[in-house]
Amino acid sequence: MKAPLKVISELGVSTDSYISAIQTLMQQDADKSEYEKRIQEIIGLAEPPKCFSWFFARALFMYVVQETIRGYSNGLIPDMEFVYEDSWVKAQTYVDNNPWNETRFNIEHGLKADAGAEIEVTDESSVAPVTLIKKGGKKDVTEKLFRDLKTTGASRQKIIDAFIQQVGMSKAGATTYFHTLKKELGFSEKNNPTEEAPKNESKQELAERLYNESEDKSKPTMIALLTEKLGTSRLGAQTYYYACKKKHEHATSNSNTTT
């Protein structure tokens, strides 16, 4: 089995910085099966993971690269099983918290971003894959986004901001699309207050709440509970379990230290 950094470097990127590595890899494109194969080789899995979409496979691959390089950067050899579990949770959380991006991919028949797509690196703890929209697709994407946001009571400004952030439009272009859709589909500020709609609990937040509230935090019990309540696979539940366990132990350790 090849060393994880060697597998990554063979993709044509430098492993000195995970940020530059991710930025380089986002200029490339691959099929879902290829991303799964790359993940298998980096982590050393017996078989490729079964990702539920191209969008998730791409996000998981990017996080695996990021966390692998981060793990080796401190001079230690990271536990690749944990790298995989941590990356899975990060990718799942990203997908859960960015539904508009996945909607965009589905509208574009998915599953593949245009060549030249870029990644937006906001800080060293998070990377957010971004895709470009194929010619002729903006109308469909913005209409879907407009309808979905309208049902949540989003304000005019929130919808325009979503066009800018999620579809990659300029402010002028987003405003034009908003007024066009407003005329076609109807929109009333009276029925769309400026207040933010209540944030739904993400799967990661639900998993953490279930873990913290459970008296029996044993692995079998928690995996069964998370599988049922999150509607995820056993592998997915196991990943959430390890992330919750780590966070809980870290919080407990800090609490004991301060007291």
pLDDT digits (tens), the chain, 259 positions: 689 999 999 988 888 888 888 888 887 778 889 999 999 999 998 899 988 778 888 889 999 999 999 888 877 788 898 889 889 888 888 877 765 555 555 444 333 333 333 333 333 333 333 334 444 456 777 888 888 888 888 888 888 888 877 776 677 777 878 888 888 887 765 555 444 444 567 888 888 999 898 888 888 888 888 888 888 788 788 888 988 988 888 787 776 666 5
Query: What is the structure's pLDDT at 137?
Result: 58
Burial of 143 from C-beta contacts in 10 A (0-12 / 13-18 / 19+):
middle
CA atoms within 13 A on the CB side of 145: 32
| 228, two tokens | 């049922």
Report the chain's terminal Cα–Cα distance, integer Å: 46
Amino acid at 59: A
Enter the pTM of the model: 0.45
Listed in sequence order, the residues at least 6 apart from 123 whose beta carbon sits closer than 8 Å to its beta carbon are none
d(CA 112, CA 114): 7
In three-state secondary structure terms, 231 is coil
Query: What is the structure's pLDDT at 40?
Result: 93
Torsion of CA 195, 201, 202, 207, to 10 degrees: 160
Query: What is the structure's pLDDT at 149?
Result: 85
Query: What is the structure's pLDDT at 191?
Result: 54
Query: What is the structure's pLDDT at 103?
Result: 52
d(CA 34, CA 25): 13
DSSP per residue, 55-94: HHHHHHHHHHHHHHHHHHHTTS---HHHHHHHHHHHHHHH
In three-state secondary structure terms, 119 is strand
